[in-house]
Amino acid sequence: MLKIGWSSRDITPQRPAMLQGQMHVRIAREERDWAATAHTEALQRGDRPDLWWPKMLGEVVARFDRGEPMPTFQAELHVLRLGDLALATNPFELYQDLGLQIKARSPAAQTMVVQLAAGTGLYLPTERAVRGGHYGAHPVVAPVGPEGGRELVDATLAAIRELFPA
């Protein structure tokens, strides 16, 4: 049982949030070809194929070639209430838009979003980042796409609302 501030009940989610992986249609041919070239270069310079970078590059190429979407991603989210403050954690490096959505829609007087907590430290891009071709939106470093970002915002806000009933 967690007892901090005014909270006196366990607020740990029963299960991780499940966020949909990037869909195949967003992995453009250019991204697939870039990943294939980077994979070849990594192996030529002596990187082991089981290391994170070559492995992720190869996974993106293989999924594109098979026509499969990226896998569903488990994300551990936590929300803590300290008086009028909500502290929300997630395992991603969020694009600013997502963190601002959580803060703006939170019923708490102040909301802090803690990133890169309890997880992989991969990017979680917005639709705008994907359209712009930003490196942090590439499926190699962002296995969860903008749909997952919306799910993360919604799941976080639902947990905050449980601790701050109207």
CA torsion sign for 39, 40, 42, 47 is positive
Between the alpha carbon of residue 149 and those of residues 36, 49, 70, 84, the distances in Å are 26, 30, 15, 25
Asked if residue 80 and residue 2 are part of one domain, the reply reads yes
Share of the chain above pLDDT 70, in %: 83
Asked if residue 112 and residue 145 are part of one domain, the reply reads yes
Asked if residue 89 and residue 147 are part of one domain, the reply reads yes
Q: Residue 156 sits in which domain range?
A: 1-23+70-166
- The structure's pTM equals 0.75
Asked if residue 53 and residue 76 are part of one domain, the reply reads no
**How many structural domains are present in the chain?**
2
Structure tokens at 68: 């499969």
Mean confidence (pLDDT) of the chain: 81
Asked if residue 153 and residue 99 are part of one domain, the reply reads yes
Whole-number Å distance between alpha carbons of 145 and 21: 6
Reported as a single tens digit per residue, the pLDDT across 97-135 is 999 999 999 999 999 999 998 777 788 888 888 888 777
Domain boundary among 11, 37, 68: 68
